[in-house]
A and B are shown apart, each in its own frame.
Chain A
């Protein structure tokens, strides 16, 4: 699986959009971009994933650049409950493919 680079930490004001970047310059054509988050001491929570098109669901939007070397997770209206560690993971989608977690980005949403 390709390596990802994320900022160590970010702050965001409550109610504003949180934009979390991820670099994955060595991504292969068959690798997807996945985002998970881990709220303090809880199990990781799946957020969203995509291959090359932008994706949106009830939690977030995922913007992938045309060359697929980077992506941005957008939380449109961050709340205090969105404070968590956010993990960007690049992986081939197949059965049994384990998730390889990096250090992630600590997002602090402040009132």
Chain B
């Protein structure tokens, strides 16, 4: 059973471009969480999704950030018009019906 997959692992964008981060949960997992880790800081919750629904987006910045988890395919975290402050590691976690979350390897976004 493959673990949580995230791609790309490293992403470089120039200021003003869009970043799209993908997360494929573990097989059978229908809950997806996104967390962000800024340099030298702790992990912060961003958003929780179930298939086709955003359940909790209390940690998402109000502008430029969006997330989706379609019926088919991976969950996508989209950052529009990236700025240098968006440079961070973005981690996705998935869970089955239970509460334990299993994390992917992360996507490291660098904004030039």
Interface residues of A (CB under 8 A from B): 38, 41-46, 49, 91, 93-104
Contact = CB atoms under 8 A, between A and B. Distances in A.
SS class, residues of chain A in contact with chain B: loop
19 contacts: A41-B89, A41-B108, A42-B106, A44-B91, A46-B100, A46-B102, A46-B103, A93-B99, A94-B99, A95-B99, A96-B31, A96-B48, A96-B55, A98-B33, A98-B56, A99-B43, A99-B45, A101-B42, A101-B44
3 A-B pairs with the lowest CB-CB distances in the bound complex, closest first: A43-B103, A98-B45, A101-B43
Interface residues of B, number: 26
A44 B42 CA distance: 11
Interface in B19-63: 31, 33, 35, 42-45, 48, 50, 55-56, 59
A98 B103 contact: no
Interface of B: 4, 31, 33, 35, 42-45, 48, 50, 55-56, 59, 89, 91, 93, 97, 99-106, 108
Nearest to B100: A46
A95 B97 contact: yes
Contacts of A91: 99
A102 B99 CA distance: 19
A9 B93 CA distance: 26
Contacts of A46: 100-103
Contact of B31 (A44, A45, A95): A95
